[in-house]
Amino acid sequence: MTMTAQVAILAGYVVLALLAVALGLPARGRRPYASPTAFVATIMSHPAGRWIVLLLWMWVGWHFFVRGSD
Amino acid sequence: MRRRSGLRLNWRTLAGMGQRAVGSTKRPVPWAPLALGAATLCYVSVAGGLSPFTWPAMVSTTIGGLAIFAVAWRRPSPSTAVRASRSGLVAWAGWLAAVTGWELWALSMHPRSSHPTLSSLLNNLIETHPGRSVALLAWLGLGWWLARR
């Protein structure tokens, strides 16, 4: 049961990673407006969005390098 | 009263002329980026050896974060990069929601060994000093990229 759960969760991450590749690949050249960079640029174009993204980035660093995780 | 015209020469102008005359065929060395790169490598090699839950780790991470925040503060102008279309926004927001949902679902389950989260998977990679230094470099690189958007 636990092995099945582990495999299912890892498979979920793999599917999500493949989905990101599938979403990002057509954006190269032909559709720059659908790229992840354009998505980040859109959020960062708003002052509040810019600082929220930077705070999220800071949280990621805190999470991995200061607090650690289980 | 007549105003004096012509070149205002001082020691800086003369020094610059001398440098141009001596090294006119050489490209100037980009000292600032080189110094920044060297300082960053020193930082990640030292900070990568610090253990979580310690004051040195907290101080070093805060220093790295504040440095990136300072870069972002000095660059307040909005980005001129390509903006996402509505479909692009919806697609990536949906993907982000799916990743967050999957991560939170895994986080709610126990034991962690059989219900791994992205954090627990990445933690295995950053347990060692080199792995942690590389992760710190990637984190700073991402922050630098975001701060200059």
Tally of domains within chain B = 1
C-alpha B17/C-alpha B20 separation (Å) is 5
Tell me how many domains chain A contains: 2
pLDDT confidence band for B146 (50 / 70 / 90): very high
Structural domain includes residue B129: yes
- Using CB atoms, which residue from B79, B87, B99 is nearest to A45? B79
Residue B11 covered by a domain: no
Q: Residue B85 above 60 pLDDT? A: yes
Higher confidence at residue A7 or residue B29? Answer: A7
Task: Please provide the size of chain B in residues.
Answer: 149
A50 three-class SS: helix
Contact status of A62 with chain B (Cβ, < 8 Å): yes
Closest residue, chain A, to B55 (C-alpha): A66
Q: Is A2 exposed, middle or buried (0-12, 13-18, 19+ CB in 10 A)?
A: exposed
Give the pLDDT confidence of A31-64 residue by residue, as tens digits.
777 788 889 989 988 889 999 999 999 999 999 9
Q: A70 and B84 in contact by Cβ < 8 A?
A: no
Q: B135 is in which domain, residue-wise?
A: 49-76+96-149
State the residue range of the domain holding A9.
1-34
For residues A18 and B74, which has the higher predicted lDDT (pLDDT)? A18
Is B111 a member of any domain?
A: yes
pLDDT-above-90 percentage for chain B: 52
B39 contacts B140 by C-beta, under 8 angstroms: no
Nearest residue of chain B to residue A29 (CA atoms): B82
> Which among B142, B93, B118 is positioned nearest to A20, based on CA atoms?
B93
Q: Residues B98-116: what's their mean pLDDT?
A: 91
Q: Do A64 and B78 touch (CB under 8 A)?
A: no
Cα angle value A48/B106/A20 (rounded, 5°): 60
Domain assignment of residue B123, yes or no: yes
pLDDT at B78: 59
Rg (CA), chain B: 25
Helices then strands, each counted (H, E), chain A: 3, 0
Residue A1 has pLDDT above 80, yes or no: no
Sign of the torsion formed by the C-alpha atoms of B17, B23, B24 and B28: negative
B99 pLDDT more than 70:
yes
Residues A17 and A29 in one domain: yes
Contacts 24+ apart (CB under 8 A), B113-117: B113/A2, B113/A6, B114/A2, B114/A3, B114/A5, B114/A6, B115/A5, B115/A6, B115/A9, B116/A6, B116/A9, B116/A10, B117/A69
Query: Using an 8 Å Cβ cutoff, are B64 and B47 in contact?
Result: yes
Residue with tokens 């105003």: B3
Amino acid at B17: M
Does residue B5 sit within a domain?
A: no
Whether residues A2 and A21 fall in one domain: yes
